Amino acid sequence: MKKIQILGTGCPKCKLLYAHAEAAVQALGIDAQLEKVEKITEIMKFGVMTTPALVIDGVVKSAGKVPSPEDIKLLLA
């Protein structure tokens, strides 16, 4: 099972990234756990300075932008 984390304080871009990640997971039909990480102290542990950020299995894959569902599918494959 993939673990996907969306790092962000709940801004509109963070919510959009969560929706895109959800769409990518559904389109691929994979088993994944989606989690929002909203605490600044937790976000800082990843070394991320700009949100939103996308983390897959503990690795930061994107920060400071909102990748499309298609881009996220490529990162998950």
| CA–CA gap between residue 7 and residue 46 (Å, rounded) | 9
Q: In the sheet that 53-56 helps form, which strands lie side by side, from edge to edge?
A: 32-37, 2-7, 53-56, 59-63
Which entry of 11, 19, 44, 74 is annotated as an active-site residue?
11
The catalytic position among 4, 6, 7, 14 is: 14
Would residue 14 show up in a list of annotated catalytic residues for this protein? yes
Token pair for 56: 């897959």
3-state secondary structure of 68: coil
Active centre residues (catalytic)? 11, 14
